[in-house]
Chains A and B, each alone.
Chain A
Amino acid sequence: MSMKTINNEKGIMKLSLFYFGLFFCIFIVNSAVAEDTESQQVVTNKSDPYESFNRKMFRFNDSFDDYLAEPVANGYKWITPKFMQTGVSNFFNNLENINVVINDVLQAKFSQSAEDTGRFAINSTLGLLGLVDVAKDLGLEQNQEDFDQTFAVWGVPQGSYLVLPIFGPSTARGIPAAVFDAAANPATYAGVHLKWLSIMGSAQPIAAVAMIDKRANADGALKFIDEAALDPYVFTRESFLQWRNNLATDGKSEASLDLEDLGDQSLDGNKRSGSAQSLQNDSGKKSGFTLRLEADSKSFSKASQSFDSAAQSFVTSTKAYEEAGKKLDTFNASKKKRRKIKD
């Protein structure tokens, strides 16, 4: 492995795109966050208030990967010829282009949307339903756009970092965005009609193949984390947040360059320039985008918190139900007692 691994870093992030059954996960997250806020550690990062919960999820995902995802992906790589693997990846990437075009338009990138439409049309026809990436040879590079980036352009702040079971790293903004992404991807529905193709007894064979394909592609990146990280959890979190931020701003964000502030020994511990939150506060006045984001962020800041507070209120309401349940029990018990006394 050479420095190509660096380029693979986007692969890790692809793991976060395993977005099926998301609502279920949100509930798991919420209930787990409930237990966790109480045992909140002293060590907190502004963008990662649920760190101790996230660390537990990260560990779970890690063992899930060790015991299931990695062996399955390796098996897939072992039994499938290389050209077929590329074909499978191309096929799913091509389907994602529908979502890319939608988000191009939503972000007002009209010329890019025309290019991406052309890319999809060419690969779907000349490229044999997307199996061959003909467009790449014609100079049409694959663009990466999704609803999380669109929301960012619209000014929705990133919100807290969350590690979802199996799906991996995400954020408060990324979770609802992923639901839209999944809805705009034909692969999500394809499985319903192709049950006879069922591998591994999955009801969603196409989704399963897509996931295995993504895991296989992320292999280099995951190995890179293993090799380079002193603390794999923090390494994954920081690179994920920076990578998403870089995508959302199309590489124009100079937030990461603000690190020169760190050079001054005024080093204020709360400031993590790397994480995307610094974007709204101190990234340069260079790009109009950032300015717009700064202006919008005030009006939208409530929106970001609303997800967090929704999670919190879910937690409190479950607690309220629990307490109510207990009260009912004791009430019933005392009623019975009274009856017994009467009898």
Chain B
Amino acid sequence: MFFKNMKLLVVFMFFVLGTVNAVAQDEAGVSAKQVVDKFQTDLISIMKDGKKLGYSGRYEKLAEPVTNSHDLTKIARIVVGKEGEKLSEEQQQKLVDVFSRLSIASYAHNFKDYSGESFVFDSEEETTRGGVVVHSHLVIPDDKPVKFDYMLKEKGNSWRIINIIANGVSDLALKRSEYTSILEREGFDALINKINEKIESYSKQ
């Protein structure tokens, strides 16, 4: 009798602990590394079907993984820098829309087929300002590996990529220089037109 009760108790305890654990994990959300892992896995699997899917197929399949792992609103805000303050609410929204489409389009264009590539996780570190950097590299058969460092920031109870540094070249810094320069020299409409032209040319190749 005692043992039976004990057994029940243990089962009950496990059950309770299990739920608590599950709840706790839910509260902690997804870690930065998990976000990067999932995105890289999605990317590789889309690359594998790349040829079959074609550009539009890849675009459609990538839309969700990209928007779920990247903080595109924040990136769009950062890349226009101080110039962003001069933009109206409507313009800012337009920029975020166009920029999001560009981000997905460039993935769809650049990761179009598969020839044995794989991502390897190296390390993870916290930065002084509460961000996390996930260091990884892409192994390419018969070629030098490419270092991919992802900079993530916390958003809600999850993490989002805000910058990718490929072989030491920061995508965010590059875009920021380009976008602020175009805004200063040619204005907002020119920037939007240029981004749209890029999306157009990505879709054609």
- A interface list, Cβ under 8 A from B: 2-7, 9-10, 42-43, 45, 141, 227-231, 234-235, 237-239, 242-243, 245-247, 251, 253, 256-257, 259-264, 267-269, 272-275
Contact = CB atoms under 8 A, between A and B. Distances in A.
Given A230-B195, A256-B173, 20 more contacts: A2-B111, A2-B112, A3-B111, A3-B140, A5-B110, A7-B167, A229-B178, A231-B194, A238-B174, A238-B178, A239-B174, A242-B174, A251-B168, A256-B168, A257-B165, A257-B170, A260-B127, A263-B74, A263-B78, A273-B173
Contacts of A4: 140, 143
17 contacts: A2-B111, A7-B143, A227-B109, A227-B201, A230-B191, A230-B194, A230-B195, A234-B177, A242-B173, A256-B170, A259-B151, A259-B162, A260-B153, A263-B153, A264-B129, A272-B177, A275-B173
Contacts of B138: 3
A141 to B, nearest CB: 8
Interface residues of B, number: 53
A260 B165 CA distance: 12
Interface stretch (B1-9, B12-20, B179-187): B179-187
Contact of A261 (B82, B113, B129, B147): B129
B110 A262 contact: no
Contacts, number: 141
Given A2-B112, A274-B174, A246 B169 contact: yes
A231 B170 contact: no
Nearest to B112: A2
B74 A274 contact: no
B173 A260 contact: no
A235 B81 contact: no
B23 interface: no
B168 A235 contact: no
Contact of B115 (A2, A235, A275): A2
Contacts of A238: 169, 173-174, 177-178
A272 B173 contact: yes
Contacts of B172: 259, 262, 274
B163 to A, nearest CB: 5
A3 to B, nearest CB: 5
B167 A234 contact: no
Interface of B: 74, 78, 81-82, 84, 106, 109-113, 115, 117, 127, 129, 131, 133, 138, 140, 143-144, 146-147, 149, 151, 153, 162-163, 165-170, 172-174, 176-182, 184-185, 191, 194-195, 198, 201-202, 205
Contacts of A264: 129
Given A235-B174, A243-B169, A257 B181 contact: no
B57 to A, nearest CB: 16
Given A2-B115, A227-B201, A231-B181, A251 B151 contact: no
Contacts of A231: 178, 181-182, 194
Contact of A267 (B82, B140, B179): B82
Nearest to B115: A2
A246 B167 CA distance: 8
B121 to A, nearest CB: 17
Contacts of B168: 242-243, 245-247, 251, 253, 256
Interface centre among A247, A263, A272 (most CB of B within 10 A): A263
A257 B149 contact: yes
Contacts of A251: 147, 168
Among all A-B residue pairs, the 9 with the closest Cβ atoms:
A274-B173, A246-B168, A256-B170, A269-B82, A238-B177, A230-B194, A242-B169, A234-B178, A260-B131
Contacts of B115: 2
Contacts of B74: 263
